[in-house]
Amino acid sequence: MKEIIRITVGLTVSCLIAALLMGSVFIVTDKAKKHNEHVNIQRAMLGLLGYTRGHPAPPDLRLYTMYRYIIEDGAIRTLGYMLPVVKGEHGGYQLVVIDLDGQFVNRFKLNITPEKVSEASERASAIKAVLKPPKTFVYSDSTIVAKLGQKRLAYLLPGKFPGFKTFIDVMLAIDPSFKIIGLEIMEQEEDPGLGAEINQDYFKNQFKEKSFEKIKKINVTKEPLPEEYKKYLETKKGRDFPLPKGVVDTIRSKYQDKDIYALTGATISSQAVTNGVKNMIRKFAYRINRLDSVISRQHIPVAF
């Protein structure tokens, strides 16, 4: 009997120690994973804006994140925007609530610091403090506003949409007129050698400089990608052009308003990205125009 108790106690202690070690390893690795993801996202955003190690961002570049929530109060649904506002040295945040028609409903000061706003749980606690039951809310999405000096430089839109196999995660940069600055594929699981080619410059760069009017009606063509256009698309920004500048200007003008050339053997993946990008921009343009109108009419001192 004593032997059984000894063995049981020994196994229990061993399991507890193993669980403690595994938990500690998970905490450390999870923290490192989140840090690496943050670094990769920051690098992607700056890269889309044209900044690299060799061409660093200017000191007056600022990135401000606004978070959008869907608020429900019984049968009434509204939108809540957590916005960074000018408040002392370190800034602050307000929750601006508008209805589905874009009309102002209410605004609340939030008790949250810039250091904690990236944590979903911290944002939820701050919102719960001002939205009393029976109101409920769920997180919808976020937008990063890039500001250079006193002017908005760009909007950075994280997005996710269905691909051929699973979801495709992207980061899209557009200027204040909603023209595309650049597209980055953050994560995808399309077929190697086929749909996975959406990562290639000759596909992604086709979206660059497409105007908002073109994007609203853009489609995919199965015509072969012209070789001169492919060479232009694969040109790395900041390096010498493999083509004379005059030729580059001619190619840019020639293809700027063309549809997206589909990847060979991966029309579905090509169409998925094209539709995803189109929907992201159209929906964002609609929302930001209405939000800016509320910000202006209510004199909300947003940081961006």
Answer whether residue 44 is part of any domain: yes
Return the pLDDT at 76. Answer: 97
Is the predicted pLDDT of residue 102 greater than 50, yes or no? Answer: yes
The neighbouring-strand residues paired with 65 are: 144
Answer whether residue 53 is part of any domain: no
Mean pLDDT over the full length of the chain? 91
- Tally of structural domains, the chain: 2
Structure tokens at 177: 């007129």
41 and 74 in a single domain? The answer is no
More confident residue, 183 or 248: 183
Answer whether residue 182 is part of any domain: yes
Whole-model pTM? 0.86
23 and 97 in a single domain? The answer is no
Is the predicted pLDDT of residue 243 greater than 80, yes or no? Answer: no
Percent of the chain with pLDDT over 70: 91
Instruction: Report the alpha-carbon distance of residue 78 to residue 172 in Å, rounded.
Output: 26
44 and 68 in a single domain? The answer is no
Return the pLDDT at 12. Answer: 75
The confidence band for 39, taking pLDDT boundaries of 50, 70 and 90, is: confident
Query: What tens digit of pLDDT does each residue of 56-84 get?
Result: 999 999 999 999 999 999 999 999 999 99
Number of other residues whose CB lies within 10 A of the CB of residue 53: 7
DSSP-derived letter for residue 225 is: P
212 and 67 in a single domain? The answer is yes
Return the pLDDT at 238. Answer: 42
104 and 37 in a single domain? The answer is no
35 and 95 in a single domain? The answer is no
Answer whether residue 177 is part of any domain: yes
Question: Stretch 192-217: mean pLDDT, rounded?
Answer: 96
154 and 9 in a single domain? The answer is no
139 and 221 in a single domain? The answer is yes
Identify the domain containing residue 266 by its residue range: 60-304
Please give, one letter per residue, the 3-state secondary structure of 32-55. HHHHHHHHHHHHHHHHHCCCCCCC
Query: What tens digit of pLDDT does each residue of 117-157 get?
Result: 999 999 999 999 999 999 999 999 999 999 999 999 999 99
Structure tokens at 242: 């493999």
1 and 87 in a single domain? The answer is no
Percent of the chain with pLDDT over 90: 78
The neighbouring-strand residues paired with 97 are: 80, 106
Q: Are strands 136-148 and 260-261 parallel, antiparallel or unpaired?
A: unpaired
More confident residue, 53 or 211: 211
Query: What tens digit of pLDDT does each residue of 263-288 get?
Result: 999 999 999 999 999 999 999 999 99
Question: Stretch 210-217: mean pLDDT, rounded?
Answer: 96
